[in-house]
Amino acid sequence: MEEKQGEVVLFGTWASNPCTRVELALKLKGIPYEYVEEDLKNKSELLLRHNPVYKKVPVLVHNGKSIAESLIILEYIECWNSTPKLLPEDPHQRAKVRFWANYYDQKVVPIFYIIFGAKGKEEREKAIEDLSQVLKVFEEEKNPKFLSWVNALKNCPLMEETLPPHEKLVAMLRVWLNSTQA
């Protein structure tokens, strides 16, 4: 892919939550972009040039300048293109949204990697139990506003358009899970 100035390019992979997060934000903001699907087993030279530190997706390139890490990309998009707002105006509410996004990235995602990377049944079952405990904060009685927001998102047409196809995702996860049990 030839690099173009003045355009927005998103390097990602279809099954990545962080990539989907950025793609959804671009769509919500109405920002036109080019999407470059990366093969994470054979990363492109452009990806490695734009993210030489972590060498992973997502990477947003805007006017030839690269931004890595999904939450940082979201902050950048919010500052650069202010309407519609991705985050609440109220600083406390904005901080709470950032807290839960960080909680998900720091607490939930790593456990999924343990579950799908576990070498044995015992290790996998322990990780599933750990995940169950971590997810308890999202129970309706503890966090009703958050759950009502998540349920409202399910009805957003952009969600259906942006999320990876369920069957394709399940098939990929089965392959990944079976490869760890071999």
**Tokens standing for 81?**
């293109």
CATH number for the segment(s) 8-80: 3.40.30.10
Output the pLDDT for position 4. Answer: 47
Mean pLDDT over all residues of the chain?
87
H/E stretch holding 73 reads: helix 70-80
In order of 44, 75, 130, the CA distances from 52 in angstroms are 11, 21, 33
- 8/73 Cα distance (integer angstroms): 12
Instruction: Name the residue with tokens 């492109």.
Output: 44
Q: Delimit the CATH 3.40.30.10 region(s) of the chain.
A: 8-80
Give yes or no for a contact between 37 and 16, defined as CB atoms under 8 angstroms apart. Answer: no
Output the pLDDT for position 58. Answer: 98
H/E stretch holding 109 reads: helix 109-117
Per-residue confidence in pLDDT tens, the chain, 182 aa: 554 445 999 999 998 989 999 999 999 999 999 999 999 999 999 999 999 999 999 999 999 999 999 999 999 999 887 788 888 889 998 898 888 889 989 999 999 889 888 888 899 899 999 999 998 887 766 777 777 777 777 778 888 888 888 888 888 878 877 776 65
Q: CB neighbours of 142 closer than 8 A, spacing ≥ 6?
A: 136
> Which residues partner with 66 through β-bridges?
61
Give yes or no for a contact between 87 and 97, defined as CB atoms under 8 angstroms apart. Answer: yes
Output the pLDDT for position 5. Answer: 43
End-to-end alpha carbon distance in the chain: 37
- What pLDDT digit, counting tens, does each position of 16-54 carry? 989 999 999 999 999 999 999 999 999 999 999 999 999
- 125/128 Cα distance (integer angstroms): 5
